[in-house]
Amino acid sequence: MTAKIVTFNADVHKDQFFEMNVEFLRWDHEKILTHHGVDMSEWDGDAHEYVESMVNDLAALKPPKGFVLVLEDEKIPVGMGLIKTIGEGIGEVKRMFIRPAYRGRGYGKDLMQMLVTRAEELGYSTLRLETADFMLAALKIYRSAGFKERGMYPGSEVPEWYQPYCIFMEKTLPSDKH
């Protein structure tokens, strides 16, 4: 891997983290509209405005509340992923995203592995996530990392009306790590 996975540093990554979140949401909204005919802007408004309302909370995630990782290629942030604590020993994988020009290089798999490893080191016992049913490449990564499908879980931010389009997953982490 020519890329490097690093812990989010606001002094270095803040602007690119913001832009990747906007890029992720715009891409996500476009795909949801294409696959399901659902206009997500009716729920969370313009992607830029939505990211402005929540990006500081995500960027501030530090143990024990969670953590943020950034994938850099030639020191340029090209991907991100984070774990947000949603219960005792339970983390939720959020914002797994690799910029389209950098996909197909195994970066998503590497980033997921690093998220799992870091979660184990920090004592999480369970990781959960939700993803859209059309995100086939992401589903492949999650399944290969050991995530199994489950029902909706407490702490998920998915609105009830959107749940039919989501796949909820969970991975139990080795008990000897926590």
pLDDT along the chain (178 residues), means of 10: 86 87 86 86 66 71 90 93 96 95 95 97 97 95 98 90 93 78
Tell me which CATH homologous superfamily contains domain 3-125. Gcn5-related N-acetyltransferase (GNAT) (3.40.630.30)
Q: Which residues of 37-70 are buried (b: 16+ CB within 10 A; e: fewer)?
A: eeebeeeeeebeebbeeebeebbebeeeebbbbb
Task: Supply the pLDDT for residue 176.
Answer: 66
What pLDDT shows up at residue 120? 96
Other CB atoms within a 10 A radius of the CB of residue 129 amount to 24
pLDDT of residue 67: 95
Radius of gyration of the chain (CA): 15
Instruction: Report the predicted TM-score, pTM, of the whole model to 2 decimal places.
Output: 0.89
* Residue 89 falls in which region: left (phi positive, over 0), alpha (psi -120 to 50) or beta: left
Each domain of the chain, given as residue ranges in start order, spans 3-125
Q: Please report the pLDDT score of residue 51 as a whole number.
A: 66
Q: Cα(152)–Cα(31) distance, rounded to whole angstroms?
A: 21
